[in-house]
C-alpha cells in the first residue's frame, strides 16, 4: 500500500474517532457549561438531567429539563424529554430539514399581569436592536412534530382567572417556512371539564389557511373575569361547545369564511341582589356563512330552549340595568387607552393601498344579514315591579314560543309568538316586515282572558283605584307604510269591577276610573273601547306610547264628563230616556210618550242597579218665586208632590225604588209654562264623588 494512502486512512480514521469521541462526550461536556451560563444565554436558570448529542445521526436528546422564573426560584417550565433529528447535509444548501421533533411531558406555567407575561423578559432579551426586513434565503422544513402528555396552566393575576389544560397532544406532520404546505393537529383536556380538538392547514406560498375546531363541554367559569369587564354580575356558570370550520388568508384576515355550530348549555347568571337573572337549558346557533369583510352574516338556525329571565325593577334600577356598570375604574380606562394605541399601531403598519381598496369596495355595501329560522321553546319571563306605591307587581309570562322565518335585511320576514300571561291570559302575535326598512311593518296582537286584578297594583299606583275583578280581551293591528302609522286597538272588558278610590294614595293621574268603568259596562257586563292611533313616526313629537295613553285618557275623561250618553249606549236604551219631560201639574195619569220615557229609565236602572236617577223640577217663574202669589205657589207644590207619588208608583211596578229615583229639593231655572212642570233627569254613578277626577275630566275637555 502506498504511503500517502496509509496517511489518508489514518487521518480519516482519526477524524472519525474524534467525531465519535466528541459525539459521546459533547453532551456530558456541554451540559454543565450550558447550565452554568444559562442565565446569560436565555435569561433563565436551566437544569437538565441528561444531554445527548450524536453528530453522525444529527440527533439531540434533552432529558429532565427544568427552567425557572426570573426570580430563579419558581418553576417556569419543564419536560420529560425532547428529541430532535436534523438532516445535516442540507444545511450546506441553507436548508433546515428536521426528520422529527418529539416533546414529552411539558409542564408550562404562564402568568399575565396586565400586558406583561412571565416570558416577556425572554422576548425582550432576544429582540434584535434593528429588525432585518430582507427575506430569508433559508428554507425550514420541520417534519413529524409531536407533543405528548402536555400540561399548561395560565393565570391572569389582575383578573384572578385560572385556566389549566392537561393531556395536551399536538401532532404536526409538516411545518414548512419558505414554501410548501403545513398541517397541525391539537388535542387537549380542560381541568375544569371539556376537551378541544383542532386541526389546521397552512400554505406558505399564498398564506391560505384552513382551520377546524371542535370543543366539547367547556366550563365557562375561567372566562368569568373577562366577561366581568363588560358585565357586572355575581356568578356565571354553563358549558360551551363548538364545531367550526374556518378558511381564509392571513394577508386578508377579515376575508374568511366560517360556518359551523355553537352551543351553550345549562347557563346561569346571577346579579347582585337578583338571583337567576338569566338561565337557559340550551342555546344552539348554526352558522351558514360568516364573512366580515364581505359583510355576509348568514345564520341557518338559532334555537333557544327553556330560557328563564327574572326581570325585576326597584328604586335602584333593574336586574338588567345592574348588569351594565355605570362607572369605569381608572384601570379600565387605561386598558382601553392602551388597546386603542395598539390598534392605531396596527393600522399604521397595514398597507395603505390595501386599506383604500377595501374601503372603496365595501364602504357602500350594506350588510347581508339573514337568519333562516329562529325558534324559542318553553321560555319564561318573570316580571316584578317594586317601584309602585302600595303593592309589588308580579306578572309571569310563561310558555313563550317564537317561530320566525327568513329574517333577512333584503326580503320580507315573518314571525309569530305565543305566550301565557299571568294565570289564564294568552298572548298571540304575528309580524311581517322588512328588517332593513322600519317604516314598513305590520303586526297583529291578540290578548285573551287576562285577569284584570293581576294589573291592580298599576291601577292603584297611577289612579288610586284597585281592580278586584275583570277579564280583558284585546285585539290590535298596527301597520306602517312609508313611515305612516295606522293602529287600530280594540279593548273588550268583561265583568270589570273597579273598587272605591283609595284616599291614602296620591295617584299619578287624577281620573274617575271607577265611574268610567261603570258607565262603559253594557247590559251584558262588557265594556268596550276602540283607540285608533295615526301619525308619522318621523315627527319628533310623535310617540306611540304617548298617543295610546292620551287616547285612553281622553276616552275615560269623556265618559266621566258625559255619563248619560254613554250609559244609554251601554244599556242600548232609548236615546230620549233622559231628556227633559214636561208634565201638567194637575194630571192624574200619563200619556204614551211619558210612559215610554219612564219605561226606558226603568230599563236602564234594571241593567245598572247601582245607578241613582236624580229628578230636578222647574216651574213657572212668575208663579213660584217671591214675586208670585204665595197661595198659588203652595198649590203648585202640592200638585207637584202628588205627581211624585204617581211617578213612584209607576216605577215601583218595575222594581225601581225610591233609592234609585230621588227628587231633589233644588228647583231648576228652566222655563215652564203656567200650570206645568219640567222634569230634568240626571244620573249618579259609582265613583262620581271623585271631585278631582271630574274636574280633571272637565278641564281636559275644555283644553
**Is a pLDDT exceeding 70 seen at residue 362?**
no
Q: In this predicted structure, what is the pLDDT of residue 356?
A: 44
Local confidence band at 509 (pLDDT 50, 70, 90 cut-offs):
confident
Judge whether residue 685 has pLDDT over 90. Answer: no
Which pLDDT does position 104 carry in this prediction? Answer: 93
Cell of 485: 302609522
pLDDT at position 328 is 46
Tell me what pLDDT residue 86 has: 84
Q: Which residues pair with 52 in a beta bridge?
A: 61
For residues 393 and 455, give the distance between their C-alpha atoms in angstroms, rounded to a whole number: 7
pLDDT tens digit sequence for 365-398 = 678 888 999 999 999 999 999 889 888 889 999 9
Do strands 46-47 and 59-68 pair parallel, antiparallel, or not at all (unpaired)? antiparallel
Residues of the chain with CATH 3.30.1330.60: 571-687
Does residue 329 have a pLDDT over 60?
Answer: no
Q: Any residues with CB less than 8 A from the CB of 410 and at least 6 apart, and which? A: 368, 370, 436
What's the CATH fold of domain 571-687?
A: 60s Ribosomal Protein L30; Chain: A; (3.30.1330)
The set of long-range contacts for 11-14, using a CB threshold of 8 Å and a minimum separation of 24, is none
List all residues 6 or more positions away from 434 whose beta carbon is below 8 Å from its beta carbon: 409, 411, 412, 413, 440, 441
Instruction: Report the C-alpha gap between 581 and 663 in whole angstroms.
Output: 14
In sign, the C-alpha dihedral spanning 692, 698, 702, 703 is positive
The DSSP code for 312 is E
pLDDT at position 533 is: 83
Per-residue pLDDT, 340: 52
What are 603-650's pLDDT values in tens digits? 888 888 888 898 998 887 665 555 567 777 788 888 888 999 999 998
Among 124-133, 416-425, 535-544, 686-695, the range of highest mean pLDDT? 416-425
What is the pLDDT at residue 233? Answer: 81
Give the pLDDT score at 352.
45
For the stretch 146-199, pLDDT in tens is: 999 999 998 888 878 888 888 889 888 877 766 667 788 888 888 888 889 999
Question: For the ranges 135-139, 254-258, 286-290, 530-534, which has the lowest average pLDDT?
Answer: 135-139
Rounded Cα gap, residues 295 and 368, in angstroms: 6
- Three-state secondary structure of 555-609: HHHHHHHCHHHHHHHHCCCCCCCCCCEEEECCCCCCCHHHHHHHHHHHHHHHHCC
Please give the torsion angle defined by the CA atoms of residues 269, 275, 281 and 287, in that order, rounded to the nearest 10 degrees.
Answer: -30
Query: Using one digit for the tens of pLDDT, what is the confidence trace for 433-450?
Result: 887 777 778 999 999 999
The Cα 666–Cα 349 span in angstroms is: 95
pTM: 0.70
Count CA atoms closer than 13 A to 356's CA, side-chain side: 3
Comparing 26-30, 296-300, 475-479, the range with the smallest average pLDDT is 26-30
State the pLDDT confidence band at 545, using cuts at 50, 70 and 90.
Answer: low
Question: When comparing pLDDT for 404 and 367, which is higher?
Answer: 404
Task: Using CA atoms of 107, 111, 192, 215 in order, give the dihedral in degrees to the nearest 10.
Answer: -80
Per-residue pLDDT of 32-41, as tens digits, reads: 888 888 888 8
Instruction: Please give the share of the chain, as a percent, with pLDDT higher than 70.
Output: 85
The answer to whether residue 355 scores a pLDDT higher than 60 is: no
**How much is the average pLDDT of 675-683?**
88
**At residue 537, does pLDDT exceed 90?**
no
Q: What is the distance between the alpha carbons of residues 162 and 154, in angstroms, rounded to a whole number?
A: 6
What distance in Å separates the CA atoms of residue 304 and residue 401, rounded to the nearest whole number?
A: 10
Return left, alpha or beta for 665; rule: phi > 0 is left, psi -120 to 50 is alpha, else beta.
alpha
DSSP H stretches of helix in 615-677: 621-624, 630-652
Q: Quick one: what percent of the chain has pLDDT higher than 90?
A: 22
Q: What is the pLDDT of residue 345?
A: 52
Asked whether the predicted pLDDT for residue 552 surpasses 90, the reply is no
**Quick one: which H or E segment has residue 298?**
strand 296-305
Amino acid at each position: 500500500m502506498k504511503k500517502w494512502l496509509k496517511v489518508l486512512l489514518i487521518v480519516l480514521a482519526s477524524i472519525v474517532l474524534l467525531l465519535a469521541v466528541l459525539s459521546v462526550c459533547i453532551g456530558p461536556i456541554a451540559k454543565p457549561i450550558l447550565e452554568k451560563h444559562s442565565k446569560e444565554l436565555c435569561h433563565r436558570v436551566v437544569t437538565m438531567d441528561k444531554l445527548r448529542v450524536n453528530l453522525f445521526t444529527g440527533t439531540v436528546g434533552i432529558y429532565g429539563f427544568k427552567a425557572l422564573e426570573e426570580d430563579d426560584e419558581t418553576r417556569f417550565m419543564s419536560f420529560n424529554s425532547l428529541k430532535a433529528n436534523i438532516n445535516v447535509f442540507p444545511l450546506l444548501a441553507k436548508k433546515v430539514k428536521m426528520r422529527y421533533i418529539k416533546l414529552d411531558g411539558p409542564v408550562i406555567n404562564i402568568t399575565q399581569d396586565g400586558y406583561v407575561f412571565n416570558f416577556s423578559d425572554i422576548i425582550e432579551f432576544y429582540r434584535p436592536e434593528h429588525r432585518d426586513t430582507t427575506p430569508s434565503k433559508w428554507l425550514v422544513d420541520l417534519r413529524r412534530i409531536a407533543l405528548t402528555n402536555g400540561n399548561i396552566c395560565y393565570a391572569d393575576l389582575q383578573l384572578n382567572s385560572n385556566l389549566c389544560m392537561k393531556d395536551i397532544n399536538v401532532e404536526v406532520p409538516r411545518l414548512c417556512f419558505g414554501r410548501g404546505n403545513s398541517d397541525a393537529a391539537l388535542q387537549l383536556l380542560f381541568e375544569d371539564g371539556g376537551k378541544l380538538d383542532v386541526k389546521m392547514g397552512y400554505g406558505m406560498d399564498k398564506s391560505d389557511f384552513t382551520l377546524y375546531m371542535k370543543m366539547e363541554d367547556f366550563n365557562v367559569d375561567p372566562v368569568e373575569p373577562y366577561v366581568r369587564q363588560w358585565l357586572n354580575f355575581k356568578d356565571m356558570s354553563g358549558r360551551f361547545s363548538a364545531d367550526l370550520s374556518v378558511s381564509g388568508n392571513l394577508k386578508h384576515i377579515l376575508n374568511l369564511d366560517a360556518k359551523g355550530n355553537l352551543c351553550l348549555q345549562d347557563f346561569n347568571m346571577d346579579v347582585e341582589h337578583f338571583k337567576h337573572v338569566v338561565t337557559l337549558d340550551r342555546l344552539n346557533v348554526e352558522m351558514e356563512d360568516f364573512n366580515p369583510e364581505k359583510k355576509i352574516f348568514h345564520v341557518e338556525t338559532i334555537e333557544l330552549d327553556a330560557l328563564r329571565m327574572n326581570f325585576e325593577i326597584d328604586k335602584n334600577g333593574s336586574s338588567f340595568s345592574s348588569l351594565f356598570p355605570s362607572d369605569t375604574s381608572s384601570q379600565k380606562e387605561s386598558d382601553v387607552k392602551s388597546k386603542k394605541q395598539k390598534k392605531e399601531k396596527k393600522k399604521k403598519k397595514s398597507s395603505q393601498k390595501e386599506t383604500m381598496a377595501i374601503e372603496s369596495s365595501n364602504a357602500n355595501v350594506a350588510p347581508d344579514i339573514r337568519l333562516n329560522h329562529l325558534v324559542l321553546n318553553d321560555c319564561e319571563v318573570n316580571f316584578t315591579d317594586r317601584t309602585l306605591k302600595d303593592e309589588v307587581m308580579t306578572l309571569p309570562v310563561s310558555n313563550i314560543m317564537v317561530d320566525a322565518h327568513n329574517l333577512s335585511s333584503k326580503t320580507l320576514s315573518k314571525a309569530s309568538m305565543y305566550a301565557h300571561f299571568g294565570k289564564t291570559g294568552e298572548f298571540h302575535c304575528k309580524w311581517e316586515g322588512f328588517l332593513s326598512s322600519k317604516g314598513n311593518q305590520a303586526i297583529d296582537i291578540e290578548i285573551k282572558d287576562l285577569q284584570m286584578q293581576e294589573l291592580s297594583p298599576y291601577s292603584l299606583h297611577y289612579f288610586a283605584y284597585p281592580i278586584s275583578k275583570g277579564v280583558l280581551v284585546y285585539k290590535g293591528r298596527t301597520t306602517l307604510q312609508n313611515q305612516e302609522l295606522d293602529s287600530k286597538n280594540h279593548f273588550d272588558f268583561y265583568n270589570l269591577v273597579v273598587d272605591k278610590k283609595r284616599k291614602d294614595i296620591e295617584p299619578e293621574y287624577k281620573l274617575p276610573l271607577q265611574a268610567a268603568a261603570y258607565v262603559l259596562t253594557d247590559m251584558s257586563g262588557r265594556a268596550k273601547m276602540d283607540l285608533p292611533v295615526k301619525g308619522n313616526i318621523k315627527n319628533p313629537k310623535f310617540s306611540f306610547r304617548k298617543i295610546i295613553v292620551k287616547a285612553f285618557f281622553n276616552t275615560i275623561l269623556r265618559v266621566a264628563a258625559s255619563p248619560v250618553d254613554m250609559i244609554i249606549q251601554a244599556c242600548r236604551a232609548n236615546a230620549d230616556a233622559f231628556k227633559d219631560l214636561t208634565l201638567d201639574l194637575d194630571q192624574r195619569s200619563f200619556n204614551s210618550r211619558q210612559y215610554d220615557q219612564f219605561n226606558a229609565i226603568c230599563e236602564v236602572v234594571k241593567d245598572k242597579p247601582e245607578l241613582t236617577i236624580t229628578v230636578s223640577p222647574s216651574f213657572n217663574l212668575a208663579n213660584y218665586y217671591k214675586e208670585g202669589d204665595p197661595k198659588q205657589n203652595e198649590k203648585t207644590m202640592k200638585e207637584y208632590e202628588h205627581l211624585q207619588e204617581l211617578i213612584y208608583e209607576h216605577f215601583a211596578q218595575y222594581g225601581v225604588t225610591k233609592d234609585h229615583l230621588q227628587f231633589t229639593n233644588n228647583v231648576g231655572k228652566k222655563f215652564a209654562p203656567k200650570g206645568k212642570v219640567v222634569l230634568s233627569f240626571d244620573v249618579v254613578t259609582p265613583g262620581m264623588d271623585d271631585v278631582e277626577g271630574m274636574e280633571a275630566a272637565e278641564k281636559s275637555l275644555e283644553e
